[in-house]
Structure 1
Amino acid sequence: MTPAPARAGSSKYGTGREALLRAAVDVVAHKGLRGLTYRAVADSAGVNNTLVAHHFGSRDALITAALQWASDQSIAVSRLREAATGESTFTQALLGLLLEDPELQVFQYEMILESRRRPELAAPIADLYEKYVSALAEGLEGFGAQGNVRVLARSLFAALDGLVLQFLAGVEREEIAAALEEVHQVLILRRDADGHPAGQQS
């Protein structure tokens, strides 16, 4: 018989399933995946550990759900779809990806590294990258990019991915912002070369 869930009202992350996912992300960001246990998540969220089992049923289900939640949150925070369409908001929007919630990015890098050791994580990690690339591709199409937009989006995300990692490693915000602005200028040149005069979008 499934135990009745404990109340999550005392959780510092809020209540319910999303609060536990937030707690799981923070646990992995600070302790690595090996530190992810029901008890660690419950302690971080300030709830009874039976609540974690009630919502997810297994540690692997918790990991998969947390990875999906983290990528959705990152895309929403950074406004990737919208970032590439603005002449003046690109750098600001993408800095949001770094500054709003760095634990989300640390969690995802931990999962990416762990996927090298755990083959069952390979598919979720591939899905993670596809979600980012798809979001950027939508934005680039709105920006007026032509040709193979998915290849361009994947190349752009590779640059962003590297800049995020550098930021987490301690590179100064101003240097990251300057690099992001350089990437933006390259995108503008690419769009204009494709036949869209500066300031004109398709």
Structure 2
Amino acid sequence: MSRKVAYGEGRDLLVAATVQVVADKGLRGLTFRAVADLAGVNNSLVAHHFGTREALLAAALEWAVERSIETTGLLALGSGDAFVDSLLASITDQPELQAFQYEMILEARRNPLFRPDVERLYDRYQHVVEQSLAEAGVTGDVAATARRVFATLDGLVLQYIAGVDTDGLRRALHDLWSSVQAATRPNVGA
């Protein structure tokens, strides 16, 4: 049975449901009906807001990236413990955000239609990490450092999604944080 959705809430409700459906069932399980059922609305609302499956997925990917950035602490690196705790809490509390993004990354390899969306995903993360590192005082080639930091984070999050133990990831994140901190210190002997 569908429920009444307040004006302006339908789109976000549908993209959140899309992320959850894909995280749970993969892209093969994604149908307008599955999204509508999870959201508790009529499936015509999905078609009304997005028109195509591809438009729905593109909107959901953008939403998932922004939500992930907001909840991981990438915008403000803070202290090492706060950074590690925030990142781990984000991926343990909302693993569907990352699982969905990885599904889309793999799909972009098979379907060139999604490559621009995935390129935007990586560009967005690169920009946020670069900006955060610069604000934290990282010097030198900040873009290269940001690429290395995000590549490490990307790999660690994928490992978590695959079931690698959280304690090992916590140690790896602390090590990553230490390397970021080292990049903010001026060269004493230079």
4+ runs deviating over 4 angstroms: none
- What is the one-letter code of the residue matched to 1:74? S
Which residue pairs with 1:9 in the alignment? 5
Which residue pairs with 2:174 in the alignment? 181
> Percent same amino acid at aligned positions?
46
The Cα of 1:23 is off from its aligned counterpart by 0.4
**CA-to-aligned-CA distance 1:89-121 (integer Å, 9 cap, x gap):** 221122133122000000000000011110011
Q: What pairs up with 1:149-168 in 2 under 5 angstroms? A: 149-168=142-161
**CA-to-aligned-CA distance 1:116-164 (integer Å, 9 cap, x gap):** 1100111110100111111111110111111221111111010001100
TM-score, reference length from structure 1: 0.86
Q: Which runs of 5+ in 2 are unaligned?
A: none
The answer on whether the counterparts of 2:73 and 2:83 sit within 8 Å (CA) in structure 1 is no
Q: What pairs up with 1:49-88 in 2 under 5 angstroms? A: 49-83=43-77, 85-88=78-81
The Cα of 1:60 is off from its aligned counterpart by 1.1
TM-score, reference length from structure 2: 0.91
- Name the stretch that deviates more: 182-191 or 62-71: 182-191
What do you get for the CA RMSD once the two structures are aligned? 1.9
Give the one of 79, 90, 94 matched to 2:87: 94
Q: Which runs of 5+ in 1 are unaligned?
A: 1-5, 196-202
Q: What pairs up with 1:102-181 in 2 under 5 angstroms? A: 102-181=95-174
**CA-to-aligned-CA distance 1:66-97 (integer Å, 9 cap, x gap):** 010000000001120202x4354221122133
Equivalents in 1 of 2:146, 2:90: separation in Å?
Answer: 17
The answer on whether the counterparts of 1:143 and 1:191 sit within 8 Å (CA) in structure 2 is yes
The answer on whether the counterparts of 2:73 and 2:87 sit within 8 Å (CA) in structure 1 is yes
The answer on whether the counterparts of 1:86 and 1:143 sit within 8 Å (CA) in structure 2 is no
The Cα of 1:43 is off from its aligned counterpart by 1.1
Residues 29 and 156 of structure 1: is their aligned pair in 2 closer, same or farther, counting only changes over 3 Å? same
The answer on whether the counterparts of 1:77 and 1:100 sit within 8 Å (CA) in structure 2 is no
The answer on whether the counterparts of 2:125 and 2:150 sit within 8 Å (CA) in structure 1 is yes
The answer on whether the counterparts of 1:25 and 1:66 sit within 8 Å (CA) in structure 2 is yes
